[in-house]
Amino acid sequence: MELNTKSPAATEVGSAVTDEAPAAPGSRELFGATAGLLLLLVAFDLLGSAVGWVGSNLLAFVAATFLLLPDLIWPAGRAHPSQADRPRREQLRGIAIGLAFATVVFAGFVPGYHLWNTRFAGRSLAPSLSALRQPANELSLRPASAAPTDLMIERDGRDLLLHWQPATTATLTLLSDGKLERVSGAPIPSRSPDGALRFALPAGESLALRLRVESAHSLSGTVDPATDLWLGSDALPSATAFSIPYHLRWIPWMLLMQVVLVAIPEETFFRGYLLRRFARLWPSAGSERFLHVSAANLASSAIFALAHFAIGFHPARLAVFFPSLLFGRLAERTGGIAASVTLHVLSNLMMQLVSTQYLP
């Protein structure tokens, strides 16, 4: 028995939800939307590797692309499908459906994720509440493409990696309540009476350290003379001192980011626009489902996967094709994107929380 949760304002053509919107699109519109999206994403990715502030704000550029691109393609003066208004009651119902699906999905996902990590990825489960404490969000951004010649700090799982190559002879002073391990370069000196570690490097030499943070909650230090400090892809000019505390504040910030910069923009474009337009392009294809998945859902999910691949060009990013099918099915059944947005947000947040409990 299948619960019918479709909006009265929505019609189902071949089981793929479409709104009472303008006539069916031509293939030129959807090809242009897809090609334009992928070209813009590749351009942002390449530009972000070359220009620090673009890389630091890459999510914002991508989110704006998802939200604005349909408006540029759609005829002036006509609201495209992703802008179809939904009554508040339907939106709340969609959120409730998304929450219900999330509980079912998580129950199956967590054991599979554990099996993948322990049997295939070579990671081990190390449950710890302290592992939920994470450094600032800046450290989750991808590092600059070209390694800077000054101090760079990036996150690697629970650990922090410090790379330092001073342009002139300089001294790096570090204080931490965790364990510092040498990766390469000068050996770790003995701690001074104040608990600090001081590294003196001549110009041109390099140093790489790993901060094991199973029990660490902070890292701070100074560089003399002043140098640039890189946090991920963010460069702070002439930084003489820095402090990186571990805390739980990243969780509400991550939730907000997932809602505003990830789930709503992505679901607006891929389910609110592309899925519905493909359903109108192929009005009879929905009756010829493959494993209960419509042609419109398959097409929009394939483009969803390609869009993720366009940022970073890593094959693993294509795996988002599979959760996209579920997001698309929810959008088809409810006639809106509230359910798919809810499941999208919770899925991404759960991935972040669960991943903190595994060590390489």
Between CA 255 and CA 177 the distance in angstroms is: 28
Sign of the alpha-carbon torsion through 161, 165, 166, 171:
positive
Residue 140 pLDDT > 70, yes or no?
no
3-class secondary structure, 221: strand
Does residue 159 lie within any of the structural domains? yes
Question: Are residue 118 and residue 15 in the same domain, yes or no?
Answer: yes
Residue 4 pLDDT > 60, yes or no?
no
Between CA 315 and CA 301 the distance in angstroms is: 15
pLDDT digits (tens, 9 = 90+) for 57-79: 889 999 999 999 988 877 655 55
pLDDT digits (tens, 9 = 90+) for 29-60: 899 899 999 999 999 999 887 776 787 788 99
Enumerate residues 6+ apart whose C-beta is below 8 A from 34: 274, 303
8 A C-beta contact, residue 124 and residue 114: no
Question: Are residue 278 and residue 237 in the same domain, yes or no?
Answer: no
Question: Are residue 163 and residue 266 in the same domain, yes or no?
Answer: no
User: CA 308 → CA 41, 80, 194, 318, distances in Å?
Assistant: 9, 23, 47, 7
Task: Give me the torsion for CA of 144, 145, 147, 152, rounded to 10°.
Answer: 20
Sign of the alpha-carbon torsion through 270, 276, 277, 278:
positive
- Please return the burial class of 96, using the count of CB atoms within 10 Å of its CB with bins 0-12, 13-18 and 19+: middle
pLDDT digits (tens, 9 = 90+) for 223-266: 999 888 888 767 777 788 888 888 888 899 899 999 999 999 99
Question: Are residue 172 and residue 150 in the same domain, yes or no?
Answer: yes
Question: Are residue 115 and residue 50 in the same domain, yes or no?
Answer: yes
Between CA 257 and CA 280 the distance in angstroms is: 32
Residue 262 is predicted with a pLDDT of 96
Between CA 194 and CA 185 the distance in angstroms is: 24
Question: Which of 245, 264, 283 is the C-terminal boundary of a domain?
Answer: 245
For 211, left (φ over 0), alpha (ψ -120 to 50), or beta? Answer: beta
Read off the pLDDT of each residue in 103-120 and give the average, rounded to a whole number. 92
Question: Are residue 284 and residue 321 in the same domain, yes or no?
Answer: yes
Number of domains in the chain: 2
Helix axes 88-115, 338-355, angle to 10 degrees: 30
Question: Are residue 205 and residue 238 in the same domain, yes or no?
Answer: yes
| Residue whose entry in the numeric block shows the structure tokens 């190559």 | 165
Q: Which residue has the higher pLDDT, 103 or 280?
A: 103
Between CA 161 and CA 286 the distance in angstroms is: 50
Question: Which of 218, 245, 272 is the C-terminal boundary of a domain?
Answer: 245
8 A C-beta contact, residue 267 and residue 331: yes
Question: Are residue 283 and residue 203 in the same domain, yes or no?
Answer: no
Residue 216 is predicted with a pLDDT of 72
- 197 forms beta bridges with 174
Residue 308 pLDDT > 60, yes or no?
yes
Does residue 201 lie within any of the structural domains? yes
Q: How many other CB atoms are there within 10 angstroms of residue 32's CB atom?
A: 15
pLDDT digits (tens, 9 = 90+) for 197-213: 999 999 889 999 998 87
Residue 211 structural domain: 143-245
Between CA 266 and CA 307 the distance in angstroms is: 10
Read off the pLDDT of each residue in 161-189 and give the average, rounded to a whole number. 90
Question: Are residue 236 and residue 255 in the same domain, yes or no?
Answer: no
Enumerate residues 6+ apart whose C-beta is below 8 A from 248: 132, 133, 134
Hey, what amino acid is at 194?
D
End-to-end Cα separation, the chain, in angstroms: 44
Does residue 355 lie within any of the structural domains? yes
Enumerate residues 6+ apart whose C-beta is below 8 A from 86: 7, 9, 94, 335, 336, 338
Residue 272 is predicted with a pLDDT of 92
Question: Are residue 259 and residue 351 in the same domain, yes or no?
Answer: yes
Question: Are residue 294 and residue 215 in the same domain, yes or no?
Answer: no
Read off the pLDDT of each residue in 287-294 and give the average, rounded to a whole number. 69
Task: Give me the torsion for CA of 16, 20, 26, 31, rounded to 10°.
Answer: -60
User: CA 90 → CA 80, 274, 334, distances in Å?
Assistant: 19, 21, 8
Provide the whole-model pTM: 0.80
- Please return the burial class of 42, using the count of CB atoms within 10 Å of its CB with bins 0-12, 13-18 and 19+: middle
Q: How many other CB atoms are there within 10 angstroms of residue 286's CB atom?
A: 22
CATH number, domain of 158, equals: 2.60.40
Buried b (16+ CB within 10 A) or exposed e, 210-242: bbebeebebbebbbeeebbbbbbbbbeeebeeb
Does residue 258 lie within any of the structural domains? yes
